[in-house]
Every structure is written in C-alpha cells, then in structure tokens.
Amino acid sequence: MKLKTTGLTDFIDGNKIWETVNSTTRTEAAHVHDILDKALEAKGLSLDDTARLLQVEDPELSEALFETARKVKQTIYGNRLVLFAPLYITNECFNRCAYCGFKDTNKELLRRTLSADNIRQEVSVLEKQGHKRLLLVYGEHPKFGADWIADTVRTVYDTVSDKSGEIRRVNINCAPLDVEGFRKLHEVGIGTYQCFQETYHRETYAELHPVGHKKNYLWRLHAMHRAMEAGIDDVGMGTLLGLYDYRFDTIALLSHAAELESKFGVGPHTLSFPRLEPALNSEMAYNPPYPISDARFKRLVAVLRLSVPYTGLILSTRENRQMRRELLDLGISQLSAGSRTYPGAYSDPDYDRPDVQQFCIGDNRNLEEVIREIVEHGYVPSWCTACYRAGRTGEHFMELAKKGFIQEFCHPNALLTFKEYLLDYAQAGTRDMGNALISNELKGFAAKRKNVVADRLVRIEHGERDLYL
C-alpha cells in the first residue's frame, strides 16, 4: 500500500494546545465550580474548560469533579456497562513502536498469525463464555492487506457455536488503511474502526515510531477521515498514556474529535486512554517517560466524561481490578473482560505468556468473575448490538443519544442480552444474582416499557434469542 499524504494538513496545532494547557494552570476554585455546574447540563465542555478541569489537583475540588462525573454518567448511561473481549489475530509487525512487544526488533517474541481454523477455534471459546462483541487486533505487516483483514472478519461472523453463540459485532483495531481498504471493512460489516494516535506531540511521535508505515504521522492522523469517507460511521480514537504530557495529548485528542465533528457532523463513537503496560524488550513500557498516577488517571476519566458526555469511554484489562471498579462510576461505558493479548491465547491454558503477548494485563479474571463483581456493584452487563444492526450509528446515534435514547433503548436491551447470558452461560449463583438484578431494574420502568420488556424476557426464557428494541 502506498501512503498518499500530499495535501494532508496537520490540524493539531501543538503551540496552541500548549498555550491552552499553560494558560489554565491556575484556576480559582469558584471558576472550577462554575465549569462543573455547566458540565451538569451534559452539553460538553470547551477545550479551555476541559484544560482547566485537567489541572485540578486539590482534594476537595477533585471530589466535586468526581461527584459531577458520577451524576452525568448516571443520567446519560444509567447503570449499564457494555462488555467485550479483544481477539488478537496477528502479532507480526513491521513497525518499531518503542513501547510495544510486537515491534519488529523484538526477536524474542514468537510470531503468530491465526489461520481461519485458528480463528474459528478462538471465537468458539469466546462464544462459549458468552461474548457477543469482539475487538479484533492486528500487528501491521505488508503481507496482510485489507482483503485479508476483511476475510478474518467474515470468519468471525460465520463462526456460530451452540446455544445463542454468535458474535454480533466485530470491532477492529488495525493499522490505518486507504479509503478503498476501509470500504472493504465496511462491506464486511465491521462495527467500530479503532486506531490510537498514541501521542499528538510530533517530535515525540517521530522518536517513538522510527520505521514502517506508522512512522508517517499525517497518514495516521487522517485515518479516521478516510474511514468515515469510506462509510464507517463509528470510529474509536485514543492516546497511549505515559508517552507524553497527558494534558497535551488529551486536549489534542479532543481537538481531533472536534475536527471530525466539524467535517463529518459526528465525532468519535468511543475514546480509549490506555496506560503503558510492561512489554517484552521494551524499556520504555517498564519506565514510561511521562507516567500518569492513579489519582490523575481517575481525574482524567471524570474530565472526559464531562467534556464529551455522549462519547463512549473504554477501559481495558490493562487496568487492575480495583482501578477498574472505581472508574466505572466516573464515566466508563465499555469494559473488556477475560482478555488476553496474543494470537491463540483463548485456546491456550496458560495465560501468562510474555514470549507471545503484546503487554501484561492487570486483570486476569474470567468473564463470569467480572460479571459477578459488576452485578454486585449494581451494574447491568450488556452485550447489546442493536443500534449498529438497526443502522443507528454515527450522527444518527448521537442525535438519538442526546434525546435520552440511551436510557430508553439501551437499558432494556442490556437486560435482554443479560438474560440470554444468564440462561445460556452463567453458573447457578450468578444466574440467581442476575435474575434478581433484572427484576429490580424492571421496577424502575414506566408501565408500558415494563410490559414490553417483561414480555421479551419471557420469550427469551422460552428459547427465543437476539430480541431487541
């Protein structure tokens, strides 16, 4: 693939971002409270207000920030939480990202690419655990073009196990393609196309990505433009925390989101903000140049929740159990569970494989253990894929979301998919807990909605599957 970057502009103005960050270091407490009051209206925040909140360090103001984020999260998303698992397809890569175990110079890493049969085997294992949404992850190698990626997606969708076992939404995290390549992914029905800029600081980016396609900053920066041009409505963006100053990268990420909104009428469907994790033969992954503390990380999640209230926030198993639990209340709307980070991992009895994996994970629990904890914490796990299958994506989704649609549709759909999980995959104890939660949730619905949902729950008990509103 030839990377065409002539005419592409760098719409991230680094000097302006630093000006915003530097001019907001001292913000009076009263001003912070004003911003938090504004944030409660759930209309989002300007970059300046977002930068001011990112500078909050004071414990009392931090608590006020958390309280506001909890309220906004509760109002828009309620207590539902979407679950997914990553599925690594290949760890072969010709790039040399300084922080990644898959970089080409890591000669100790065992390279693996799943065949169609391997994919079917992995998908069956995940389906038998109850997963319905997968994120396929790929290293970048000239051997693997858009046609090959599209084939792997088809293989996943075509793998159907017993009970209700089928994957209903395949999201993708692969290196940026050209418009034609993205069109191929769109045609095979991918959900979200996800790609992280890692850092928007150009000098740092250049240092960390010395060779391969990823060296080309502008090609990556315009990946979402090309994906949207190819018809992919839902895109997921992110930065890798620890590479550069998190305030700079967060404001840059939000500027990138604003650029998409102004060009295509809709910003990203999701944001991710992974922190660097240890990876084989990557000194930087063990000792990040800009480490971000747990306290700052929590504040960052709360600020993002207020800055872009309708954008999904994703948390991966890079974070440990305690951290994941705290972040749910502050704004996370999608969570990976039971994850492993190398190709073939789900068919492998051993989960600690530094010789093949991309990085170490912080939460090794299986899906059911995660679900039990979520339920104990009052959350409803959801595998809902209704919007994407009903064409409610991109701008259309955002419009509906702003009208309170998430509570009206997503919440009932969460209960319906959870019921399927309980019947098909859960152990008895989890099933009892889950059924109690569903009964309790139903009490909060208006009579008409309650009847519709209760009727569908009964139909699911009688064997119907994949019912949604």
Among 51, 69, 156, 195, binds ligand SAM (CB under 6 A): 195
- Residues 184 and 147 sit within 8 Å (Cβ to Cβ): yes
User: Measured between alpha carbons, how far is 437 from 3 in angstroms, rounded to an integer?
Assistant: 51
Answer yes or no: are the C-beta atoms of 380 and 441 closer than 8 Å.
yes
**Of 259, 212, 180, 176, whose CA–CA distance to 102 is shortest?**
212
Which of 93, 252, 374, 380 binds ligand SF4 (CB under 6 A)? It is 93
Cα separation of 51 and 30, whole Å? 16
Show Cβ contacts of residue 146 under 8 Å, excluding neighbours closer than 6 positions. 177, 180, 181, 182, 184, 185
Of 376, 371, 380, 375, the C-alpha closest to 445 is: 380
Whose CA is closest to 453, among 424, 120, 441, 462? Answer: 441
Interface with ligand SAM (CB under 6 A), residue from 119, 175, 230, 303: 175
Contact pick of 174, 228, 313, 374 for ligand SAM (by CB under 6 A): 174
Question: Of ligand SAM, ligand SF4, none, which one sits near residue 359, judging by CB under 5 to 8 A according to partner kind?
Answer: ligand SAM
- Select from 132-140, 143-151, 319-327, 403-411 the region that touches ligand SAM (CB under 6 A): 132-140
Stretch of residues binding ligand SAM (CB under 6 A), selected from 167-175, 260-268, 320-328, 441-449: 167-175
Cβ proximity to ligand SAM: between 73 and 184 the closer is 184
249 binds ligand SAM (CB under 6 A): no
Q: Phi/psi of residue 335, each to 5°?
A: -135, 135
Site for ligand SF4 in 201-230 (CB under 6 A): 214
Q: What residue ranges in 130-285 does DSSP mark as E strands?
A: 133-138, 169-173, 193-194, 235-238, 270-272
Instruction: Say which residue the tokens 């904890």 belong to.
Output: 373
Q: Which one of ligand SF4, ligand SAM, none is in contact with 177 (Cβ closer than 5 to 8 A by kind)?
A: none
Contact assessment for residue 333 and residue 313, using Cβ atoms and an 8 Å cutoff: yes
Taking CB under 6 A as the criterion, the residue among 279, 328, 361, 415 binding ligand SAM is 279
**Residue 311 near ligand SAM by CB under 6 A:** no
Is there a contact between 272 and 237 (Cβ–Cβ < 8 Å)? yes
**By the rule CB under 6 A, 141 interacts with ligand SF4:** no
Decide: is 359 part of the binding site for ligand SAM (CB under 6 A).
yes
Stretch that binds ligand SF4, among 91-99, 150-158, 225-233, 317-325 (CB under 6 A): 91-99
Is-contact 150 185, C-beta < 8 A? Answer: yes
**139 or 343: CB nearest ligand SF4:** 139
Our finding on whether 103 is near ligand SF4 (CB under 6 A) is: yes
Q: Is 383 in the site for ligand SAM (CB under 6 A)?
A: no
Q: Provide CB contacts within 8 A for 293, sequence distance 6+.
A: none
CB of 266 vs ligand SAM, minimal distance in Å = 22
Residue 196 interacts, among ligand SF4, ligand SAM, none and using kind-specific CB cut-offs from 5 to 8 Å, with ligand SAM
Q: Is 198 in the site for ligand SAM (CB under 6 A)?
A: yes
Residues that bind ligand SF4 (CB under 6 A): 93, 95, 97, 100, 102-103, 139-140, 175, 214
Residues that bind ligand SAM (CB under 6 A): 99-100, 137-140, 173-175, 195-196, 198, 240, 274, 276-277, 279, 285, 318, 358-359
